[in-house]
Each structure stands twice: as C-alpha cells, then as structure tokens.
Structure 1
Amino acid sequence: MSQVRPYRGVEAPQRIAERRRRLLEAGLDLLGGQAIPADLTVRAICSQSGLAARYFYENFTDKDEFVGAVFDWVIADIATTTQAAVSSAPARDQSRAAMANIVRTISDDVRIGRLLFSAHLANPVVVRKRAESGALFALLSGQHAGSALHLEQSDRIKAAAHFMVGGAGQTLSAWLAGDLDFTPAQLAVQLAAFIDQVADPALYRD
C-alpha cells in the first residue's frame, strides 16, 4: 500500500483536519453572519473557506451533512466549556457559572449566538438540530437536577428541565435581537436566578 507523503512537512491527516476546520469556520461565518444566505451553496462555502470543491466532498457528502456538522461542532465546544465551568464552581454557584459561560461565548462570537438562537435563521437542518440539542440538554438537565435534589426522575422534573432549556434559549434569542438591555454579566445573573428558583425541591413533591 502506498503512503501519502508529508507536504511541506505536514502529514496528510493533519492537512485533512485543517481543511475540515476551515470548512466548518466558513460554515459558521455564513450561517452566523449578519446577512443570512437565502440558499447555502457548496460554491459559497468553498469560496468562504478558500478551498476547492473536492475538499468539501472529501469531508461531507452534501450540504445538509455539512450544516449538521457545523452545528454539532459548535454545540460540542460550548457543552464542553460549560461543563468545565460548572464542575469547577461551588454547588451554589453552578447555575451562574453555566450561564456566564454560555452568555460569554455567544457575546464573544456573535456567529455562535446567531447559529444557536437567532429566530431569523430558518435553515431546516439548523431548526432540526436545535430541537434535537434542546431535547438532549433538557434530558441532561433533568438528570442533573434529580441527582442534585436527591429525587427520583418524574414528569415534574422533566417539565422543569424543558422549561429551563426552552426559557433560557428564548431569553438569549431576545437578548441577541436587542429586545433586552442587559450586559452579558447581568444577563447571566438573571438567567441563573431563574434557574435557581426552579431548583426548589418543593416544586417536585405532592
């Protein structure tokens, strides 16, 4: 079997990974940009990334797979950093740590905020991925809440988890749209306060 030689000292897997990163960055630029493209095309993606179309198809079978990969890439990063922030905070400050990390992330990179929360981005793959990630975060939030409150899983806990995830997402969307006049720090504190109210064990007992 022939081996792929390094090019300018860079091994083939590293070059492939770098091209994929450039394509994902281009997707985030386009999907999270100020001007939302009416139709995201492979040509536009390649032009934004500075790569030929063959490199797009080296990584993705079609546009839908590409858009899903961009979304998953962003979600994985924000989930990882938020979990790290929560794990390093005292129990009483974990809601604030989580919200502070999320708000800081979408404030520092408005493309991420638009991709995850903008009501104006109606790409069907993004809409589907938002629903999937919302359900997943609600499941994880419900499991965490049940463990923290020492309660068995129930529909009340599930309802609270969906309420927290959906409410936080809608509030972040409104903030990004300019409907809420909070600084990032103020928004994080306000969201954390709402979440902490839902952590009252009395809400889940008869």
Structure 2
Amino acid sequence: MRERHRQSTGRYAGKTAIERHAERRQKLLDAALQLFGAGPGYRSTTVAALCETAGLSTRQFYEEFRTLEDVLAALHLQVNDWAEKAVIEALTQTEGQPLAERYGSVFRAYAASIAVDPRRIRMTFTEIVGVSPRMDEQRLARRARWIDLMCAEAAAAALRGEAADRDYRIAAAAFIGSVNGLLHDWSAGWVDGTLDEVVEELVRLLLALLRPAG
C-alpha cells in the first residue's frame, strides 16, 4: 500500500494547512462526482484521470487519500450526508403536522437532494455496489441508518396514535429498498412519471405500512 505524503504545515497564500487540505480534498471529491457519477464510472477511472480533472498532482492526491476506493467511500458518504441533512431539516420543519403532509415534505426533501443531480443517484445506487466487501459493508451500514431513522419515526407516530404499534424493522428495510429501486429506475428513464408522482407514490406506500388496522 502506498504511503501518504506528509502534509505541509503553516500558512500559504493566505490559507492555513488545514484549509488547503480541505480545499484539495473537496476538489478531488468534486472531480470524483463527475467521473464516477457521469462517466466513465469508478471502475474505469484512474488516479491520474481524477487528478487531471481536479487540477491537482498525484502527489497531492496521496496527501489526501491512500487509494481510489477511499475516494469512492468518502464520496458515497458525502452524498448520503447531503440527503440525511435534507431529511432531518424537513422533519424538524414539519413537526406537529398530519402524517401525510409531514412525510410528503420529507420525501420531497430527500428526492430533491438525490434527484437534483443524476450523478448523485448513480453514486448512491450503482457505482458503490459490488466494488469490494468494504464498500458493501459501508453501503449496508448507511442503509441501516436510514432504517433506524424510519423506525424511530414510526415509533413516535405510534405513540401519537397515527401508526400501528409494532416492530417496523423488516418493513423499513423493504420500504427503503423500494425507494432506492424506484428512484434508480426513474432516473434511468424506466418509470414513466414525474418526480412528484414518484414521491406521491412512495408516500402512499409508507402510509399504508404505518396506518393502524381499521
């Protein structure tokens, strides 16, 4: 495994070493979003091509990352962080609203974060799959966070009498799989409908899962 170069310290061009480090790292992630998410894809991208797109040297690459897979891992987490932040903000802003309105807003926020850029959909649902056991573990760990969030929301809804009081873990896993598959297929042009129609259908599915008997 190639060792990372020692990072420089001190201020240069008005920026601290930490600021320069963060700027280079983000340039590499931005370049990766373009190459992995739009083409040619992770498996056909080289370190040299990534550095050329980012406008950095390979030496600077190895100051930030050990391998190209490390870039893929960081980018996958970044895209998920964007979506999670949008969902948390929507949940906060819709607290106290009726269930249907609340989750309509939440799913629009999630879809807006992911579907605003087709590269994000490809990164979330395609490029990371089957790369390595490490990436599969990260993908499933991140999905588990979404499952935990959904189960927590379902438990809160049950306390308010808006949802059945039961264990939602399997239902949450099935529903999140549906979300991923439907958004992927919609972005690929295999689903004939607008994004709003896709979101409305997902909300109907979720409400059907949550609604108490009778």
Q: TM-score, normalised by structure 1?
A: 0.85
CA distance in 1, matches of 2:64, 2:156: 40
List runs of 5+ in structure 2 lacking aligned partners: 1-7
2:138 alignment partner in structure 1: 129
Structure 1 119/77 Cα, relative in aligned 2: closer, same or farther at 3 Å? closer
1:81 alignment partner in structure 2: 86
Contact persistence 1:103–1:187 (CA under 8 A): no
**CA positional deviation for 1:101:** 1.4
1:100 to 2:108 alignment: yes
2:189 alignment partner in structure 1: 178
**CA positional deviation for 1:5:** 3.9
Contact persistence 1:99–1:188 (CA under 8 A): yes
**CA positional deviation for 1:184:** 1.7
1:193 alignment partner in structure 2: 204
1:53 to 2:58 alignment: yes
Divergent runs of 4+, >4 A:
119-122, 125-128, 151-154
- The answer to which of 178-187 and 28-37 deviates more is 28-37
Question: What is the SS of the residue equivalent to 1:51?
Answer: coil
Q: Among the aligned pairs, what percent are the same residue? A: 25
Structure 1 4/98 Cα, relative in aligned 2: closer, same or farther at 3 Å? same
Contact persistence 1:25–1:49 (CA under 8 A): yes
- Equivalent of residue 139 in structure 1, options 141, 148, 151: 148
Structure 1 122/33 Cα, relative in aligned 2: closer, same or farther at 3 Å? farther
List runs of 5+ in structure 1 lacking aligned partners: none
Contact persistence 2:164–2:211 (CA under 8 A): no
**CA positional deviation for 1:40:** 3.0
- Equivalent of residue 164 in structure 1, options 167, 175, 182: 175
1:16 alignment partner in structure 2: 21
CA RMSD of aligned residues (A): 2.5
CA distance in 2, matches of 1:65, 1:193: 38
Length, aligned pairs only: 200
- Equivalent of residue 157 in structure 2, options 148, 152, 155: 148
2:72 alignment partner in structure 1: 67
Structure 1 72/17 Cα, relative in aligned 2: closer, same or farther at 3 Å? same
Letter in 2 for 1:102: Y
Letter in 2 for 1:143: A
Contact persistence 1:106–1:112 (CA under 8 A): yes
Structure 1 91/27 Cα, relative in aligned 2: closer, same or farther at 3 Å? farther
- The answer to which of 110-119 and 120-129 deviates more is 120-129
CA distance in 2, matches of 1:142, 1:49: 40
Contact persistence 1:113–1:176 (CA under 8 A): yes
Letter in 1 for 2:151: G
**CA positional deviation for 1:122:** 5.0
